[in-house]
Amino acid sequence: MTAKFVSRLSLPSSSTFQFLSDHTTTHSIIHDVIKYCPIGDSYINYENTAIPYISSFPTSPKPEQAVQYYRGSTAVLTLDGYNNTIRVNGTDDIPLPKDVDEGLLNCLNSTIGEAIILVDGISSSGRRYFPDSSSIALAYLLWIFVGILFM
Q: What are phi and psi for residue 69, nearest 5 degrees? A: -105, 150
For 8, counting Cβ atoms within 10 Å of its Cβ (0-12 exposed, 13-18 middle, 19+ buried), the class is middle
For the chain, give every domain's residue range. Answer: 2-149
Q: Work out whether the CA dihedral 23, 28, 30, 33 comes out positive or negative.
A: negative
Q: What is the pLDDT of residue 116?
A: 87
Query: Beta 2-7 vs 44-45: how paired, if at all?
Result: antiparallel
Per-residue pLDDT of the chain (151 residues; tens, 9 = 90+): 999 888 877 655 668 999 999 999 998 998 888 888 876 544 555 555 788 999 999 989 999 999 999 988 899 999 999 988 865 566 677 888 888 888 889 999 999 999 987 665 544 444 444 445 555 555 555 566 556 656 5
Note whether 78 and 66 are within 8 A (CB).
Answer: yes
pTM, two decimal places: 0.70
Q: What is the pLDDT of residue 6?
A: 85
Helix axes 23-36, 102-115, angle to 10 degrees: 130
3-state secondary structure of 69: strand
Note whether 67 and 77 are within 8 A (CB).
Answer: yes
Note whether 98 and 35 are within 8 A (CB).
Answer: no
